[in-house]
Amino acid sequence: MPELPEVNTVAKVFRKTVLNNPIAKVEVYDSKILRRDTPDVFAQAIERQSFIDTYRHGKYFFAELDSGKHVLFHLGMTGDIHYYHHEDERPKYVRFEIFFADGLILGYEDLRKFSQILIVPNLKEYLEETRLGPDALRIGKEAFLKLFAERKTPLKAILMNQQLVAGIGNLYADEICYQARLHPGSTAGALKKKELETIFEKMKSILKLACRKNAYYRVYPKNWFWEWRKVGNKIPKIGVVKKTNIGGRTTFFVDKYQKLIR
């Protein structure tokens, strides 16, 4: 599932590709991912407009129109945006297309159709309604540390709770815990300030680097957990990768190397 760095990359390419390009028409081929708009309402809100800006909050990417409305692109598990100039280049699972005046086509592809695409009349009100926590790249240290106070839930569950801090999913949560050398099942409220500060610093550095690398996993550092995240893998001079379940999510860790705190 796309997490903050992947969504950030999609937003970055979107900005470079389509801003201020007039929209000629919209064609919806599968309305399931339009969570509250009919195809006609969706198309009418976008046609004869231009995208003028973007905003990302956690895993949510918003594209602003001339009208002041926004289009939410929440990628779900398999959502992605493609750009091309000929309809015969259309990817197999494109659910709608936006045709621009200069001939460019934006095709939104989603194999499993878990995306959320909708027109947002007021961005501030929508973010309040969704109750998303602060963005993981924008939250300050003191606010982050307060998230853990007196909580009995596991460390990883805090990191992945989008209403506490937005943007971190399963893969990056495991990476943060590994680099902080803390077991993802550690009790949140039992962690000391120094340990929480380490988690905060690792969260920021990991996400920033992943964004700089455009979420392209092949060029991530070789010492990242990403390279080893499979049961039974032996990480030289560190240990063997094991698996458990935390908050309903498959979780990978290295026993003893990552300290379990209760």
Would you list the DSSP string of 57-89? ETTEEEEEETTS-EEEEE-TTTEEEEEESSGGG
Q: Where does the pLDDT of residue 1 fall: very low under 50, low under 70, confident under 90, or very high at 90 and above?
A: confident
Residue 125 structure tokens: 């009100």
Phi, psi of 208, rounded to the nearest 5 degrees = -65, -45
**Which pLDDT does position 211 carry in this prediction?**
98
Instruction: Give the 3-state secondary structure of residue 110.
Output: strand
pLDDT in tens, 45-73: 999 999 999 999 999 999 999 999 999 99
What does CATH list as the number for 141-254? 1.10.8.50
pLDDT exceeds cutoff 90 at 39: yes
**Which pLDDT does position 35 carry in this prediction?**
87
Q: Where does the pLDDT of residue 184 fall: very low under 50, low under 70, confident under 90, or very high at 90 and above?
A: very high
Best CA proximity match to 52, nearest among 83, 22, 13: 22
Sequence ranges of the domains in the chain:
4-130, 141-254
pTM: predicted TM-score of the whole model, two decimal places: 0.95
pLDDT in tens, 129-165: 999 999 999 999 999 999 999 999 999 999 999 999 9
CB atoms within 10 A of CB 33: 21
Contact present, 56 and 11 (Cβ < 8 Å):
yes
In Å, what is the CA distance from 209 to each residue of 114, 206, 217, 226?
Answer: 27, 5, 11, 13
pLDDT in tens, 82-94: 999 998 999 999 9
Contact present, 184 and 251 (Cβ < 8 Å):
yes
Q: Where does the pLDDT of residue 209 fall: very low under 50, low under 70, confident under 90, or very high at 90 and above?
A: very high
The strand order across the sheet containing 116-120 reads 51-57, 60-65, 70-74, 116-120
pLDDT exceeds cutoff 90 at 101: yes
Q: What is the mean pLDDT of the chain?
A: 97
Contact present, 37 and 115 (Cβ < 8 Å):
no
Phi, psi of 219, rounded to the nearest 5 degrees = -110, 10
For 125-139, letters b (16+ CB in 10 Å) and e give: ebbeeeebbbbbbeb
Fold that domain 4-130 belongs to in CATH: N-terminal domain of MutM-like DNA repair proteins (3.20.190)
**Which pLDDT does position 27 carry in this prediction?**
97
d(CA 225, CA 223): 6
